[in-house]
């Protein structure tokens, strides 16, 4: 067996163990009895330890060295095929990072994460931040330790950001977000200065069973392959991969606001379509090259399908009649234009996942600021609720009345995912740039949606974004696909054009 074939085999074995661990995590969030949490945390800790042991196998290090991969040339010699060099780069990064983390730390963090997630679910339900605070403190300290292990010479938050968006640093993201924030606030002021949209009919009571039918309908409309995944319900919607043909998504049904499940389902289906389309080559299936380029690239897929497609007039031209029938009598008498304007109503609100396109990134910017302050020590865990409320008032002009609608609303920090939040806003930017690239390359995505031809959009995404997997770093991918670096102006222009039509200015 050639060295690179052996490397792929070892990697594939590790992916199997990783997917088994993901199955345990998915079960914890969906069907696991609540009393099982203690043993489940031990099970997950064991799986993480096994995965870590496999990732740090000395044989992997030896093969990488034999193939010419090192810190200075992670892809090995230029004489190797391009796809092999990309794979070596990915495996060198994973191996170097894994070998810097003690196995005991990985196991302890996995167990603490499982307990933390369960504590968050209960604390959110009870609106009891103080009960969750010790778990948050523990996850924060774990992340600081991980950052110190990976690169003690860098600022901890820069190291954590790099885990989700390779090459990103806090100062760079802050610069992008600063300009984006100004543009969003300016647009928001224009919108709030005029007559507001009536969306009261969206808050009519809608049974969960009817919403479940709608979820199944929209998954099918977006070409989700039901033989390769499934939908379940959880406290916080998510997507997880349990295998190359087993991608699970979840949603939640809020009976007093059915759009929550409709757009959560479309959002998570966007993630699943990406996972199911990762296919750099037959040789690299079930390897680390068949993974997302970054979390922001991942979010570009979910946000594009949820908003650019799912909140467009053309989409509902085709699908509103079916939704009206499935949810009857909730939407009886509601016309297309009124529905379109209602689902695109702009109004500062408390919940990120239900925020409109204009204010959504402001929610993300707040979380970026807060987690950076938490990691640096400028903000204490005890002071987080107050800082959260102050930030909401400053950026959005609204203040939560309780922590369940404030700093307890997101699952990410309970999972120890510090550095993840910027991916959402960066995903908006990438998504808008993909949309304009389609137009520049001869595909009119707006017309495709209006004609009910979503397959042409998916085909373009499959070819340009999904199939390459991790061959390109995120910055390289946007350059490769669009010919330019990430440019926020695409997203700002999209918002201004769209909302000028919605609000008539």
Q: Which residues are catalytic?
A: 268
Q: Specify the pairing of strand 229-233 against strand 239-243.
A: unpaired
Give exposure, 95-128, as e/b (b: 16+ Cβ within 10 Å).
Answer: bbbbbebeeeebbbbbbbbbbbbbbbbebbeeeb
CA dihedral 160, 165, 167, 173 (to 10 degrees): -80
Using a 10 angstrom Cβ sphere, with 0-12 exposed, 13-18 middle and 19 or more buried, the burial of residue 437 is buried
Phi and psi for 198 in degrees, rounded to 5?
-90, 115
Report the 10 Å Cβ neighbour count for 152: 10
Give exposure, 478-502, as e/b (b: 16+ Cβ within 10 Å).
Answer: beebbeeebbbebbbebbbebbeeb
Q: Which element (helix H / strand E) includes 176?
A: helix 170-192
d(CA 463, CA 486): 19
- What is the DSSP secondary-structure string of 359-425? HHHHHHHHHHHHHHHHHHTSS-STTHHHHHHHHHHHHHS---SSGGGTTTS-SGGGGT-TT-THHHH
**CB contact at 8 A, 485 and 479:** yes
**CB contact at 8 A, 461 and 277:** yes
Q: Which of 326, 315, 342 is nearest to 211 (CA)?
A: 326
d(CA 358, CA 54): 44
Q: Which of 221, 216, 229 is nearest to 310 (CA)?
A: 221
Report the 10 Å Cβ neighbour count for 245: 11
């Amino acid at each position: 067996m050639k060295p690179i074939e052996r490397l792929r085999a070892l990697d594939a074995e590790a992916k199997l163990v990783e997917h088994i661990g993901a199955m345990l995590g998915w079960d914890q969030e969906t069907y696991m009895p609540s009393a099982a949490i203690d043993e489940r945390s031990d099970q997950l800790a064991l799986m993480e330890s096994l995965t870590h042991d496999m990732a740090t196998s000395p044989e992997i290090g030896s093969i990488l060295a034999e193939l010419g991969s090192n810190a200075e040339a992670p892809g090995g010699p230029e004489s190797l095929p391009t796809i092999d060099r990309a794979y070596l780069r990915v495996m060198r990064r994973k191996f170097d990072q894994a070998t810097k983390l003690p196995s005991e730390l990985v196991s302890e963090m996995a167990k603490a994460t499982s307990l933390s997630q369960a504590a968050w679910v209960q604390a959110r339900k009870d609106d009891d931040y103080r009960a969750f605070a010790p778990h948050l403190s523990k996850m924060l300290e774990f992340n600081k330790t991980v950052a110190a292990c990976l690169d003690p010479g860098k600022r901890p938050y820069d190291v954590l950001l790099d885990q989700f968006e390779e090459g990103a640093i806090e100062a760079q993201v802050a610069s992008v977000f600063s300009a984006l924030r100004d543009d969003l606030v300016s647009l928001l002021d224009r919108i709030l200065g005029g007559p507001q949209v009536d969306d009261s009919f969206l808050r009519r009571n809608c049974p969960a069973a009817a919403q479940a039918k709608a979820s199944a309908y929209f998954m099918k409309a977006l070409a989700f392959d039901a033989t390769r995944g499934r939908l379940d319900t959880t406290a916080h919607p998510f997507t997880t991969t349990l295998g190359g043909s087993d991608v699970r998504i979840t949603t939640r049904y809020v009976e007093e606001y059915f759009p929550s499940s409709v757009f959560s389902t479309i959002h998570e289906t966007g993630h699943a379509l990406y996972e199911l389309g990762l296919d750099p080559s037959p040789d690299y299936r079930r390897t680390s090259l068949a993974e997302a380029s970054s979390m922001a690239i991942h979010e570009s897929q979910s946000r594009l399908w949820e908003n650019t497609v799912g909140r467009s007039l053309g989409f509902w031209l085709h699908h509103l009649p079916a939704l009206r029938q499935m949810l009857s009598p909730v939407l009886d008498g509601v016309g297309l234009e009124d529905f379109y304007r209602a689902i695109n109503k702009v109004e500062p609100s408390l919940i990120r996942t239900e925020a409109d396109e204009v204010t959504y990134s402001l929610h993300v910017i707040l979380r970026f600021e807060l987690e950076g302050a938490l990691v640096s020590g400028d903000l204490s865990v005890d002071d987080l609720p107050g800082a959260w409320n102050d930030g909401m008032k400053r950026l959005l002009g609204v203040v939560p009345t309780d922590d369940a609608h404030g700093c307890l609303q997101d699952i990410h920090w309970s999972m120890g995912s510090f550095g993840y939040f910027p991916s959402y806003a960066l995903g908006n930017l990438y998504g808008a740039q993909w949309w304009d690239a389609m137009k520049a390359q001869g595909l009119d995505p707006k017309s495709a949606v209006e004609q009910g031809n979503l397959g042409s959009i998916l085909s373009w995404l499959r070819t340009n974004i999904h199939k390459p997997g991790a061959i390109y770093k995120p910055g390289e991918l946007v350059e490769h696909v669009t010919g330019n670096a990430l440019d926020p102006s695409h997203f700002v222009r999209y918002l201004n054009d769209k909302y000028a039509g919605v609000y008539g200015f």
